[in-house]
Copies of this chain bind each other. A is one copy, B any other.
Amino acid sequence: MKANQTVVFKNKPVIIGSYSIVGPKEGKGNFGPYFNYVLKDDCYGEDSYEKAEKKMLVSAIVGAIDDAKIKPNDVNLLLAGDLLNQIISSSYAARNFNFAFLGLFGACSTMAESMIVGASLINGKLLDTVVCSTGSHFSTAERQFRFPLELGNQRPPTSQWTVTGAGACVISAKGHGPRISMATFGKVIDFGVTDVNDMGAAMAPAAMDTMLAHFRDTKTGPDDYDLIITGDLGKLGSEILIDLMEDQGIKLGLNYNDCGQMYYSRNQNTLSGGSGCGCSATVFNSFVMEKLRKGEYKKVLYMPTGALMSTTATQQGESIPGICHALVIENDLSDEEVKKKKKSKSKNMKS
């Protein structure tokens, strides 16, 4: 029999800090009120979009360390990656810090990949504290993967809008906060989609594969989670995932949603929704973390998705493989504590 894809973190590594920084357009989107910092200028004071992307990663890492109330010297390792060739945003961001670095590439699934590796190192008592981070920028992704921005190309309805933003979290062996209890490693899945303007369709089969593996390995189903959230399948891709899962006899209900599909408001003209490493990274490190910390969510299945193609692969006629890694994150609050938080919240609302 095939080995399990899911691992259980017995020591339940804790997410002790998180931070999100986004561009002006993202700030006006549906998660606007949840982000830690919204840029006024998407160049972030730099002379290139690539340097702005790097600077967002640096800010996210610094912000997460601050939020965790630790010092940079307490950090053992940074785990990060991004969409740019040779993940320069992450590597050059790492140059600013005096801790070790592991570069990762899982395309838009990178937030999950960094958290899985980080949680594994901490669960195994090899390290005490790691920072996980990723980000993306509309203008760097657009010109690297598609067309020069100046061209003003038309965008088909299946296309998604790369999120300008970066997220980071600090995972530690001790402290308080949501805990990572399990992870499911994803396989590379390719259903033969070749349209680079339809990433959602390319990634949905990978999301299905990982979700099925997770439910099988853990003997759980959709109802066992307060929130099941995929990365950046977008409006079309998340519909495809719902269909694919239904074909497998599993009905995804109201507790399922997709970061990309939720990201922008209807009038923002982003067609199929948000995408990019920054998409699920900024949603997780703002909205999802806040709800976990407040006890509004008890158990979340976080499933960022990635499309693993490059322009070279596409030019050579290859289809687009997808990948999806999953993490189970649970809040560490007792029912008592959740009740208290709810009471204090309703008090605040009255005042």
Contact = CB atoms under 8 A, between A and B. Distances in A.
Interface of A: 1-5, 7, 9, 48, 50-51, 73-77, 81, 83-88, 91-92, 94-95, 98-107, 113, 116-117, 120-121, 123-129, 144, 185-190, 308-313, 316, 318, 321, 323
Nearest to A314: B88
Contacts of A85: 85-86, 310-312
Contacts of A310: 84-86, 88
A186 B124 contact: no
Contacts of A7: 121, 126-127
Given A94-B188, A117-B117, 16 more contacts: A3-B74, A4-B76, A9-B126, A48-B316, A50-B313, A50-B316, A85-B85, A88-B313, A91-B321, A100-B187, A101-B185, A101-B186, A101-B187, A102-B106, A103-B106, A103-B308
Contacts of A144: 312
Contact of A95 (B48, B127, B188, B311): B188
Contacts of A103: 104-106, 113, 308, 323
B88 A309 contact: yes
Residue from the set A91, A95, A310, A312 with the largest chain B CB neighbour count within 10 Å: A91
Residue from the set A98, A121, A129 with the largest chain B CB neighbour count within 10 Å: A121
B2 A86 contact: no
A86 B107 contact: yes
B2 A101 contact: no
B5 A100 contact: yes
Contacts of A2: 73, 98
6 contacts: A5-B76, A86-B313, A88-B308, A101-B188, A102-B113, A120-B124
B74 A323 contact: no
Contact of A313 (B4, B92, B120, B313): B92
Contacts of A99: 3, 187
A312 B88 contact: yes
A81 B128 CA distance: 26
A206 B87 CA distance: 18
Contact of A126 (B81, B106, B123, B321): B123
A125 B83 CA distance: 31
A78 to B, nearest CB: 9
A92 B185 contact: no
Contact of A86 (B88, B94, B308): B308
Nearest to A90: B105
A213 to B, nearest CB: 8
A347 to B, nearest CB: 41
A202 to B, nearest CB: 12
A285 to B, nearest CB: 21
A48 to B, nearest CB: 5
A321 B95 contact: yes
B321 A128 contact: no
A107 B85 CA distance: 11
A123 to B, nearest CB: 6
Given A88-B308, A123-B124, A316-B51, A117 B94 contact: no
